[in-house]
Amino acid sequence: MESQALHDLTVKVIFPLVFYTFHGWLATAMAIWALFHPYNAYYFPFTKWQIPCTPGIFPKRRNKLSQAVATTITDTLLTTTDIKGQAENLVTNDNIYVAVDSIVDAVLSEFRDTEQLHRLAQGLSELSPALLQQLVISIVEGLDKGADKRISVITEKIFDQIVLSARISAYQADELADRLMESVFTPDKIRSGLVFLLTPQNINALEESIHNHASGPYRLLARIIGVKRVCYECRNFLEKDSDGAKKLIVDLLKRFSIRDQLANRITNFNLRSLPVETVAKIRQNLISFVETFLVEHREDILVAVSRIESESMGTVQSAIIKFNPGSIPVEWITKTKRSISAFAYAYLKRGLGGLLEKAIPALGIYGLIARKIDLFSPQQLEAVVKRICKQELKWLEYLGAFIGLLLGLIQVAVNFGLFEKIWQVMQVIAHVFGR
C-alpha cells in the first residue's frame, strides 16, 4: 500500500511538476540559443537544401538588424536636433576658455622644446612668403571692393599715436632747413618766382586792390610812390640783371635769417595745435592716399614682396627661435586667452547652427553605425547582446520554468480530478440556487 501510494505521488505530482518545469526552462533556453546559434548555415546531407533556422536569427538578419539599429539611433535617440542642441549647450564662455587655455598652454610648452622649436621655425619660415603674399592680395582685393577696413583702422591708429605725437628735434630742423634752402629757397628760384608773380595782370590787380581797400592816407601814399611803376621796375631788374638780383636775394636771406626762422618754425611745429577739422582732414587724406596707393600699385607691391622672400623667411625663423614664453607676462597671456575665447564664442554662437547642419549629414552617422554593426561577427554580436541584457535573458529562462511549473500544477490538478470535483460542486450550487 505504501509503495503504491509513493508510486501514485511520484506519477501524479512530482513527475508532472519536474517535467513541465524543466520543459518550460529548456524551451525558453533553446529559443534564446536559437537567436544566436548556429553561426553558419547548414544543409541536408548530399543536398543544397538549407536546414531551417540555420544560421540563427541574429546572424541571419544581421544586415537588417544593423539598419534597424542605425535607424532607431539616428531617428529617435541621436537626431540632428539633439546633437545640435547638445553642442549649443556646450558652447559657453567657460567651456571655450578651458579649451583655449589648454591649446595655448600646449603651444607655449612646445616652444620650450629646442628641437621642436627649430622645426617649427623652419616650417613657418617656409610658409611666410606665401602667407605674406596672400595677405597682401587679400588686403588689396578688399580695399578695391571697399570691404576691407583694416588698412584705414591701422593708418588712423598710426596717425593718432605716432604722427600726431611726433616732434622734430633742433638738429633735424636745422638739417631740414638747410635742405629747403639748398633745393627750394634758392636765389635763382626766388628770382624766377618773383618774375612769374609780377605779371602785368597781377600788377594791375595789386593797384586795383589798393585803390579799393586801402584807407585814405595809404591810398594816397601808394599813388605818390607809384606802386605800379615800382612793380614794373622790380620786374625789369629781376629779368635784366639776374646776377645782381641773385646777390640781392642772397643778402636779404642772410639779413632776414630766413634759414633760422625756418628751422625755428619746423622745431615748434605741432599738428595738435591745428584746428580739429584740419587734423581730421589730414587724417582722412592720409588714409585715402594709403588705400589708393595700395590698389594702384598692387603689382609693384607683390613684386617687392617676392623680392624679400629670403629676408622674410630669415626674420620669421629668427623671431621664433628667439621667442621665450617665460618672458611673456602672465596677465598678457590671460588677456590673450580671454580675447581668443571671446572671439571663438561670438563666432560659434553666431554660426554654430549652420556649421552643424552642414557637418552632421556629412559625418554619415547612420551609415557608420550600420557598417559597424554589419561588420560584427556572430560571436561579437552575441557577446554585445548578452552583455547588454544578460540578466534579462536569465530571468526569461526562469519565466519559462515558472510557466512550466504552472502547467505542471494544472496537470497535477487534472490527475487528482480536482477540476471534476470543482465541476460537480458548481453543478450542486447551480442546482441549489436553481430551485
Position 282 pLDDT exceeds 80: yes
What percentage of the chain has pLDDT greater than the value 90?
0
With CA atoms as reference, report the closest residue to 195 among 222, 231, 248, 243.
231
Enter the C-alpha cell of residue 174.
636745422
How high is the pLDDT of residue 416? 73
Instruction: Say whether pLDDT at 29 is over 80.
Output: yes
Mean pLDDT confidence for 378-403: 79
Where is 133: in which H helix or E strand? helix 114-145
Q: Round to whole Å and give the CA distance between 341 and 102.
A: 11
For residue range 416-434, what is the model confidence (pLDDT) as tens digits? 777 677 776 677 777 777 6
Q: Is the pTM of this model over 0.85?
A: no
Of residues 302 and 255, more confidently modeled: 255
Q: Contact 250/258 with Cβ under 8 angstroms? A: no
Residues 6+ apart with CB under 8 A from 62: 373, 374, 376, 378, 381
Q: Give the model's pLDDT for residue 311.
A: 66
> What would the pLDDT profile of 284-334 be if each residue is shown by its tens digit?
888 888 888 888 888 887 777 777 666 666 666 666 666 666 666 778 888
- Rounded CA-CA distance 62/373 in Å is 8
Give which of 120, 129, 133, 131 is closest to 319, Cα–Cα: 120
* pLDDT the model gives residue 270: 79
pLDDT at 118 over 70: no
Pick the more confident residue, 344 or 314. 344
Residue 279: pLDDT above 80? Answer: yes
What's the chain's average pLDDT? Answer: 77
One-character DSSP codes across 351-386: HHHHHHHHHHHHHTHHHHHHHHHHT--HHHHHHHHH
The C-alpha atoms of residue 300 and residue 304 are separated, in whole angstroms, by: 6
Asked whether the predicted pLDDT for residue 435 surpasses 60, the reply is no
Per residue in 217-252, pLDDT (tens digit) is: 777 776 777 778 888 888 888 888 888 888 888 888
Q: Judge whether residue 349 has pLDDT over 60.
A: yes
The per-residue pLDDT for range 122-156, each reduced to its tens digit, is 666 666 666 667 777 777 787 777 777 777 888 88
pLDDT digit string, tens, across residues 160-212: 887 777 788 888 888 888 888 888 888 888 888 888 888 888 888 888 887 77
Question: Residue 356 has which C-alpha cell?
Answer: 552643424
Phi, psi of 50 (to 5 degrees): -80, 135
Residues 424, 53 contacting (CB under 8 angstroms): no
Q: Where are the domains of the chain?
A: 2-39+377-434
pLDDT at 117: 61
